[in-house]
Chain A
Amino acid sequence: MTGDIERYLAVAAGLFAIGAIGFLTRRNLILLFLSVELMMHGVGLTFVTFSRMHFTLEGQAMTVFSLTVAACEAGLALALILALFHISRSLDVELWSDLREPDLSIPISPSDLDPVTPPEEQEFPKLTPAGRAPVFPRKPVVIKTSGSMSRKV
């Protein structure tokens, strides 16, 4: 016994749950952010479904607002990620554990101790170099001007 409304709600709940799993398990800051967006998709889908169920536009208006909030969140989150990356040179969320009890050591997942399997190297096609290769270190370009500048040296 399923209705048309019900299955959309089920899909929305599934999106929400999957996003939650992502948010709780992943350690990459960018992936956390994407997971949150996925959860918001689930919520938006629920709104739209209810909007259709009641035959009003209120749910859709609400989704517009959730979209706005998502946009704000995207901007702020990316700025924050950038700032954090600037400090720690890493996107690992576990580096930011300053709120822990002072005598607890920095938690290390037991699985961190195992060696990381390097991803298989893929050969990507490369473009042929064009133009002149820049010379390092760059030399300052001396602009010759008439008269007064040359006397300084």
Chain B
Amino acid sequence: MTLFTLALVAIGIWLQIPRSRNWPRWIGMTAVILGGIGQFLCLRIPESPLVNELLFWLFGGGALFFGVLMVTGRKPVYCALWFAMATLSTCCLFLQQSAPYLAAATIIVYAGAIVVTFVFVIMLAQQAGATAYDQRSRQPGLAVVAAFVLLGAILTVLNQSSSKLIAVTPPPASAPSSDVAAAEEADAPAESDKPAVEVANSLSHPRPGESLGTLHGTGRSLFGDYLYAVELAGTLLLIASVGAIVIAPRRGQGT
């Protein structure tokens, strides 16, 4: 069933990829939507609350759907718009998974990126008009097959190992400290006198009673456990901006 719906989606995408003699758009779109719905039905969780289910359908399906639209679009401007929609949907998925800080950060970063891209697209692509390279694509069949083989493999593995993919329940709030929680996990009296040396990145664990992904916790993790990495990332950004300035053509040369 899963594989069948996957194949349906793949055929739908393949039909929509730009080529010289296009199939009508609705055939491919119908195939994608049907296949996607079938696939999502496979992923349904019967006993979960309806709100959860609805939100997942909305944003998960939305992200994928807008992604397909972006990939198959003929006009770069629309593609950029679909990409923005896909990004927004992904951010909502982040929110659903208790990562509010990340969702906000992604929106902010991509707002900048998308706006810049948009400006570029308008500036560069529109002056070229309808170009051949947007109407044609290369190796569509091979790409779709390869990508969906990968996807099928991942989904098969997920299906097989779904019993192990269970979220850890947060430790009870009554526990005095994370050290004790770690000691309880070890579940051995001989090791209980050892402090939480075994737990790496202890700052990245939410404090007892704290929920996942609070701004407080994220900050503690980033500037505690990952301080060096954060500094390095800052340096990388600096270097990248310098590099971008170097690479970009000078104003004097005309753009």
Contacts and interface: CB of A to CB of B under 8 A. Distances in A.
B93 A8 contact: yes
A89 to B, nearest CB: 8
A95 to B, nearest CB: 9
A62 to B, nearest CB: 9
A23 to B, nearest CB: 8
A82 B116 CA distance: 12
Contacts of B30: none
Interface in A13-67: 13-22, 24-28, 30-31, 33-35, 37-38, 41, 44-45, 48-49, 51-58, 60-61, 63-65, 67
A18 B64 contact: yes
B140 interface: yes
A120 B212 CA distance: 50
B158 A6 contact: yes
Interface string A109-144: 101101011110000000000000000000000000
B237 A91 contact: no
Residue of B109, B121, B248 with most chain A CB atoms under a 10 A cut-off: B248
Contact of B248 (A30, A33, A79): A79
Nearest to B108: A67
B218 A4 contact: no
B215 to A, nearest CB: 11
B117 interface: yes
Contact of A1 (B13, B163, B221, B255): B163
Main SS of the interface on chain A? helix
Contacts of A35: 70-71
Interface size of A as a range:
35 or more
Interface residues on B, range: 35 or more
Given A48-B99, A72-B240, A83-B249, A34 B93 contact: no
A58 B125 contact: no
A72 B242 CA distance: 10
A6 B124 contact: no
A58 B53 CA distance: 26
Contacts of A18: 13, 64, 67-68, 71, 147
Contacts of B1: none
B167 A52 contact: yes
A4 B167 contact: yes
Given A20-B143, A44-B106, A61-B221, A49 B97 contact: yes
Q: Which residue among A56, A86, A118 has the maximum number of chain B CB atoms within 10 Å of its CB?
A: A56
Interface string B206-240: 10000011000110111001100100010011011
Contacts of B45: 2-4, 7
Interface in B155-176: 155, 158-159, 162-163, 165-170
A89 B125 CA distance: 10
Nearest to B116: A78
B141 to A, nearest CB: 9
B63 A11 contact: yes
Nearest to B137: A25
B240 A76 contact: yes
A6 B97 CA distance: 13
Given A30-B125, A86-B255, A60 B120 contact: no
A123 to B, nearest CB: 16
B168 A24 contact: no
19 contacts: A1-B162, A2-B42, A2-B43, A6-B159, A10-B158, A18-B68, A28-B131, A30-B117, A58-B204, A63-B99, A65-B233, A75-B240, A76-B244, A79-B243, A92-B131, A111-B19, A111-B20, A116-B132, A119-B74
